[in-house]
Amino acid sequence: MSEEKNRILKISILRFDPNDPEDFPHMQTFEIEEAHGMTLFIALNEIREHHDNSLKFDFVCRAGICGSCSMLVNGTPTLACKTLTSKLGVNISLAPLPLFKLIGDLSVYTGQWMRYLNQHLETWIHNREKELNVDKLEERMEPELADEIYELERCIECGCCVAGCGTIQMRQEFIGAVGLNKVARYHLDPRDKRSDEEYYNLIGNEDGVFGCMSLLGCEDVCPKSLPLQVKIAYLRRMMIKTSMK
């Protein structure tokens, strides 16, 4: 049986340690042999193991559910653990997501941004009850509605949509599709008793839904395929309606 030669991948990585005053951003290329079913996660580990153990990158779940491995792959924000090298050419470029705080190389601190976002939008149920009663049964919800909420709840805060959004590049205060998606999620939830006016005060401005220019980079890069376009349009209509009341 003739043995098929595996491809040699040339992986160029943007290297930079912001804590090292001597360092400056530069590209470094590694050559590794592609293996069957290889993902970028496997490739990066191979590089760290055999070529350079100082390479920084993040992974936790390796299954597209924790959102920590997001990076720019050939310029497009995506999850490295979900990306098969066989889907890419032999020349692959990797860079950290822009906008977030850089820890080093491919590792960014998305948590800081996301925490600010969640505090700012108060992404928790506002039920208006004075006291917490853990014995009280929760109100029932229609399964269809629960499904719809769950659909939006699938966001893994990976930050890909933020990196793919042209608006945020120009205006960093913009809450992005991840923020708008969260608002849509709480607005759907009947347990959240916030009024439309309260929601308007959260997102009825240029940092919120009216800042979005419908470029839909977010929708196209979201690794969880969340219906971002639809939800942003929905919030926009709702906010306009609220403003006309």
Partner 1 sequence: MKQIKIDKIPARLDFIQSASGLILALFMWAHMFFVSTILLGKDVMYSVTKFFEGEYFFGESYPIIVTIAAGAIFIIFIVHALVALRKFPSNYKKYAIMKNHIKSLNHTDTTLWFWQVFTGFAMFFLGSVHLYIIMTNPSEIGPYASADRVVTEWMWPLYILLLLAVEIHGSVGIYRLALKWGWFEGSDTKKSRNNLRKLKYAITIFFLTLGFLTLAAYIKIGIEHKDKAGERYHQVTKTVQQGAQQ
Q: Does 67 bind ligand FES (CB under 6 A)?
A: yes
Q: How far apart are CA 113 and CA 161, in angstroms?
A: 13
Cβ burial, residue 203 (10 Å; 0-12/13-18/19+)? buried
Q: Quick count: other Cβ atoms within 10 Å of Cβ 150? A: 10
**What residues contact 183, with CB distance under 8 A and at least 6 apart?**
121, 123, 199, 202, 203, 208, 235
Q: State which residue, 39 or 181, has the beta carbon closest to ligand SF4.
A: 181
| Contact characters 145-164, ligand SF4, x per CB under 6 A | ----------xxxxxxx--x
Residue 227 site contact among ligand SF4, ligand FES, partner 1, none (CB < 5 to 8 Å, cut-off depends on kind): partner 1
Exposure on the CB side of residue 242, measured as CA atoms within 13 A: 17
Residue 108 site contact among partner 1, ligand FES, ligand SF4, none (CB < 5 to 8 Å, cut-off depends on kind): none
Give 173-241 as a DSSP string: T--HHHHHHHHHHHHH-TT----HHHHHHHHSSTTTGGG-----HHHHH-TT---HHHHHHHHHHHHHH
> The tokens of 163 are what?
């990196």
| Contact characters 10-49, ligand FES, x per CB under 6 A | ----------------------------------------
Residue 130 gets which letter from DSSP?
S
How many helical (H) and strand (E) elements, i.e. helices and strands, does the chain have? 9, 7
Crossing angle of helices 196-203 and 228-244, rounded to 10°: 110
Q: State which residue, 38 or 102, has the beta carbon closest to partner 1.
A: 102
Phi-psi region of 91 (alpha: psi -120 to 50; beta: other; left: phi over 0): beta
Residue 69 site contact among partner 1, ligand SF4, ligand FES, none (CB < 5 to 8 Å, cut-off depends on kind): ligand FES
Q: State which residue, 47 or 178, has the beta carbon closest to ligand SF4.
A: 178
Cα–chain center distance at 63: 15
Say if CB 125 and CB 191 are below 8 A apart. yes
Q: Does 218 bind ligand SF4 (CB under 6 A)?
A: yes
Q: Does 226 bind ligand FES (CB under 6 A)?
A: no
Q: Does 68 bind ligand FES (CB under 6 A)?
A: yes
Residue selected from 35, 65, 216, 233 as contacting ligand SF4 according to rule CB under 6 A: 216
Q: How far is the CB of 206 from ligand FES (least distance, A)?
A: 31
- Of the ranges 66-74, 85-93, 146-154, 210-218, which one interacts with ligand FES (CB under 6 A)? 66-74
Q: Does 66 bind ligand FES (CB under 6 A)?
A: yes
Q: Does 72 bind partner 1 (CB under 8 A)?
A: yes
> Which residues contribute to the site for partner 1 (CB under 8 A)?
72, 75-76, 98, 164, 166, 169-170, 195, 197-198, 200-201, 204-206, 210, 212-217, 220-221, 227, 229-230, 232-234, 236-237, 239-240, 242-244
